[in-house]
Amino acid sequence: MSDRQHVTLEDVARTAEVSLATASRALNGTTRVRDDLRERVLSAAAELAYTPNAHAQALAGGSRRTVGVICHDISDPYFAAITRGVMRVADSHGLLVMLAGTFADPDRELACVSALRAQRATAILLTGSAFEDRAWERRMAAELDPYRRGGGRVAVVTRHRSLKADTVAPDNRGGARAMAEAMHRLGHRRFAVVTGPERLTTVADRVTGFREGLAAAGIELSERDVFTSSFDRDGGYAAAGALLAARHRATCVLTASDVMALGVVSALREAGLSVPDDVSVTGFDDLPLVRDLAPPLSTVALPLERLGAEALELALDPGSASRGRVRRLPGEVLLRGSTARPRRRRRA
């Protein structure tokens, strides 16, 4: 039993008693090969449990069978859904997905791109929102440009300022605006916003949308109406705590994501408030699970899987050489049980 015993194409060729070239051709179907020879090769390969060495294939210039996906945290259902969309189309193209998690660390994101570059991935998909940071953008471009020059394709989900990559852009701003307007129409006049750090472009866009929608109704959001925390469930919980502590009189809390809304609702409920009787709460994304909440969450629905699927399709399609094409996807306001008309007077 030798140390590492990889079956190579040469083994297959020898077993089939053909040349290396013929074995390669028979396996790849590149060129016509006499039937009996091909049979021999195929059965030899099967017998030896041969698997081509993808590295050798890639090196020899034969293939690039992987795509890289970079997200903040795969256990966030938002990224899970997007990644699922990516995997669907990757699967249909016979591509393998390399998933990299950055845990929202800008430096780690850079490192991931570098690693994916090294793997000569066919395409790199940036699914997390960008960081609003000049220096970081420059470094990211410094990674991506050589990658592109080497034939790599790049696509991003959501806006990446000055990255001039193919983009799939959900309408965060418009969706947020529409939601704010819808809540105003419902009768709400006192609002609070619960959100993540605004250096994330997604967050910034959504908050801007909320502001615009409210402004259109003549309502200004002051600094004290915006509660910022981490962009996850616990952030929502904490922000709602702060809101409660500040005795904020909002009848409606606009939240920048469904996951944060989850935390908001829990905090409110623990404080003895009823959603939506005392406070209406809205989310953003329409994660699969929020319809199963009690009450089901009103939210801005985004076609998450499509976001991922189209990002990969865009990257794979040589269309315009991966210049900055932008595919916009709308968000849809979904009013469910977590929102209601405000009561005349607030209890407690």
Report the interface residues with a copy of itself, using CB under 8 A: 3-7, 49, 51-59, 65-66, 73-75, 77, 80-81, 83-84, 87, 91, 96-101, 108, 114-120, 142-143, 145-147, 149-151, 233, 262-263, 265-266, 269, 288-289, 291-294, 305
**Tokens read off for 40:** 């021999």
Compute the distance between CA of residue 214 and CA of residue 208 in angstroms, rounded to an integer. 10
With CB cut-offs between 5 and 8 Å by kind, which of a copy of itself, DNA, none does residue 22 bind?
Answer: DNA
Interface with DNA, residue 56, by CB under 7 A: yes
Compute the distance between CA of residue 215 and CA of residue 15 in angstroms, rounded to an integer. 76
Stretch that binds DNA, among 23-31, 106-114, 128-136, 155-163 (CB under 7 A): 23-31
Closest alpha carbon to 114 in 139, 77, 138:
139
With CB cut-offs between 5 and 8 Å by kind, which of DNA, a copy of itself, none does residue 33 bind?
Answer: DNA
Stretch that binds DNA, among 8-16, 133-141, 207-215, 308-316 (CB under 7 A): 8-16
Report CA dihedral (235, 240, 245, 251) to the nearest 10 degrees.
160
Interface with DNA, residue 291, by CB under 7 A: no
Name the helix (H) or strand (E) containing 191.
Answer: strand 191-195
Interface with DNA, residue 52, by CB under 7 A: yes
Q: Which of 24, 127, 195, 282 binds DNA (CB under 7 A)?
A: 24
Tell me whether residue 28 or residue 274 sits nearer to DNA (CB atom): 28
CB of 287 to DNA, least distance (A): 41
Interface with DNA, residue 57, by CB under 7 A: yes
- Phi/psi of residue 106, nearest 5 degrees: -55, -40
CB of 96 to DNA, least distance (A): 16
Identify whether the C-beta of residue 28 lies closer than 8 Å to the C-beta of residue 13.
no
Identify whether the C-beta of residue 231 lies closer than 8 Å to the C-beta of residue 260.
yes
What's CA 265's distance to the chain center, in Å? 24
Region 153-172 residues binding DNA, contact defined as CB under 7 A: none
Output the DSSP codes for 120-155. T-SEEEE-SPPB--HHHHHHHHHHHHHHHHTT-EEE
Q: What residues line the site for DNA (CB under 7 A)?
A: 6, 8-10, 18-22, 24-25, 27-28, 30-34, 37-38, 50, 52-53, 56-57, 59-63
